[in-house]
Amino acid sequence: MTETVTWTCTGCALLCEDIQVSIGDNRIEQVEHACIKGRARILGCNEKAIPTVNGVNAKIDDAIKDAARILMEAKNPLLYGWSNSTNEAQMAGIELARTLGCVIDSTSSFCQGITINEILNGTIPTCTLDEVREKADVMVFWGADPMSSHPRHMSKYSYFPRGELRQRGYEDDRTAISIDVWQSRTAKICKNGFHRIPPGKDIEFMRGLIDALSGRVPKLSFDYDVKRILELAATLKKAEFGVIFAGLGLVYSIKEDIALLSEFMSALNQFCSFSLIPMAGHFNMRGFNHNLHEKTGHIYRVKFDDGGAISGVKYSVIEQIKSGADAVLVVGSDPIASLPVSISRRLKDIPIILIDPCMNLTSQVADVTIPCSTSGIEVGGTAVRMDGKNMDITSLVQGDNMSDEMIIRRIIEEVE
């Protein structure tokens, strides 16, 4: 018998909660309203992970025991990943880090961590995606291409839908702007609202905009029509409810100059109302930052030591792999595929324990692999949407594996 259930998609950090899934005989038959990223999440991987120790098939209990042994024997283990896990699994991970007195970091370390940090520390104003849908009239996609990273972003929230204060829809009521190095799929939709800048010149363009906002003529080192910046500043100033969607293009450009982003937001808010939402990728990347912040006051790159928790660049996944970590527990991530090859070569020399539903490039070099259920498909819980909203995640079908939370709790029992 087929039944249709409403499901919250864990394909990306938009966490679309209106997906209709038809399930018959514990199998997913049809999915409505999900984009291809959501569809891929539901389809799952071709190659499911199996428990292994030293590359040989093992019993799950032995794999868990061996994982605990490696972590206990290591002087400086690193617990990494977490963006594809529920809040509950992330909390268990933080508990494990505290128990081991070790370093914990997430994929946000080289993604949206720096913007989420500013938001949680209150230096950058933010809003929810629901507010964007109801009220936003000017939206800026800065170094962000949601049409490639979060397919339903523009249709569900930021541009196309009718909202309470935006009844006439996008044609008359909303202005979309893209600031990017090329005409991305999103920029194409923004039409004349597309501003093309050279790579790495985001800071300069932002300073130029701050000047333009306060009536000064911006000076830029690259060829750019000053009139267009002045026009853009005028458009931003007129916003009743503006929002900046900060993509990785902006984040990677601004890095250590993150204070400039606060300055830019303050400059905007002298004239109008502007918020910022980081374009978090994986479904619960932001959850990890919230959970760790709640427990330690830091959002990432944390070392538990003598009952306290400290944070710093030294404890970032990159620096830890380069010099420090002598064992790595990877949860729901594929660092071998996503880190620079120059870093992943070093990672291969460190004992790796992988907890993941799927085989991936990391599983090919992992010393211990522990298969877990897929969050949001085979196990439920809660997660934090890209805008900081807490969402319930439900399971769709019964899986064969334990949840990542359960596996981590078992490891905690072993190491205690």
Partner 1 sequence: MTSAMEIYQLLPKTNCKECGESTCMAFDVALLSGTKRFTECPPLMNEDKYSDSKQKLEEILKPLEGAEETGLIIHEELCSGCGNCVVACPVNVANDSHGSGRGLGPTNNKVIFRVVDGKVKAANVKECRRFGKDKILCRACIDPCPTEAIEFV
Partner 2 sequence: MAVNVGKFIRSPEYDITVVTYRDVFQSFACEEDRNGKECEQLSAVIVLDATEMKHMGVQDGANVKLTSKWGSIVVKAVFSPREEQKGIGFMVNSLWSNALVSDETTDGIPEFKNIKVKIKVSNETIISNKEILSS
Binding site for partner 1 (CB under 8 A): 18-20, 30-40, 133, 147-148, 151-152, 154-157, 160-163, 169-170, 185-186, 188-189
For residue 179, give the amino acid letter: I
Cβ-based nearer residue to partner 2, 316 or 373: 316
Shortest distance in whole angstroms from residue 132 CB to partner 1: 10
Question: How far lies 377's CA from each of 9, 41, 42, in Å?
Answer: 9, 8, 7
Shortest distance in whole angstroms from residue 149 CB to partner 1: 11
Query: What does 38 bind: partner 1, partner 2, none (CB cut-off 5 to 8 Å by kind)?
Result: partner 1
Query: What does 255 bind: partner 1, partner 2, none (CB cut-off 5 to 8 Å by kind)?
Result: partner 2
Cβ-based nearer residue to partner 2, 250 or 331: 250
Site for partner 2, rule CB under 8 A: 35-37, 40, 43, 45-46, 109-110, 114, 145, 147-149, 151, 181-184, 196, 198-200, 248-249, 251-253, 255-256, 301, 313, 316-319, 322, 334, 336-346, 348, 360-361, 364-365
Cβ-based nearer residue to partner 2, 152 or 166: 152
Place of tokens 């660092």: 335
β-sheet bridge partners, residue 362: none
Q: Under a CB-based contact definition with an 8 Å cutoff, are residues 318 and 110 in contact? A: yes
The C-alpha atoms of residue 275 and residue 246 are separated, in whole angstroms, by 10
Q: Under a CB-based contact definition with an 8 Å cutoff, are residues 415 and 73 in contact? A: no
Query: What does 110 bind: partner 2, partner 1, none (CB cut-off 5 to 8 Å by kind)?
Result: partner 2
Q: What sign has the CA pseudo-torsion 243, 249, 255, 260?
A: negative
Shortest distance in whole angstroms from residue 137 CB to partner 1: 16
Query: What does 156 bind: partner 2, partner 1, none (CB cut-off 5 to 8 Å by kind)?
Result: partner 1
β-sheet bridge partners, residue 113: none
The C-alpha atoms of residue 177 and residue 14 are separated, in whole angstroms, by 20
Strands 352-356 and 2-7: unpaired
Shortest distance in whole angstroms from residue 374 CB to partner 1: 17
Query: What does 163 bind: partner 2, partner 1, none (CB cut-off 5 to 8 Å by kind)?
Result: partner 1
Cβ-based nearer residue to partner 1, 184 or 375: 184
Shortest distance in whole angstroms from residue 147 CB to partner 1: 4
Cβ-based nearer residue to partner 2, 130 or 198: 198
The C-alpha atoms of residue 185 and residue 153 are separated, in whole angstroms, by 13
Q: Under a CB-based contact definition with an 8 Å cutoff, are residues 304 and 98 in contact? A: yes
Q: Under a CB-based contact definition with an 8 Å cutoff, are residues 381 and 368 in contact? A: no
Cβ-based nearer residue to partner 1, 4 or 54: 4
Shortest distance in whole angstroms from residue 40 CB to partner 1: 8
Q: Under a CB-based contact definition with an 8 Å cutoff, are residues 357 and 374 in contact? A: yes
**Residue closest to 84 by CA, chosen among 40, 119, 115:** 40
The radius of gyration computed from the CA coordinates of the chain, to the nearest angstrom, equals: 22
Instruction: Tell me how far the alpha carbon of residue 264 is from its chain's centroid.
Output: 23
Cβ-based nearer residue to partner 1, 20 or 390: 20
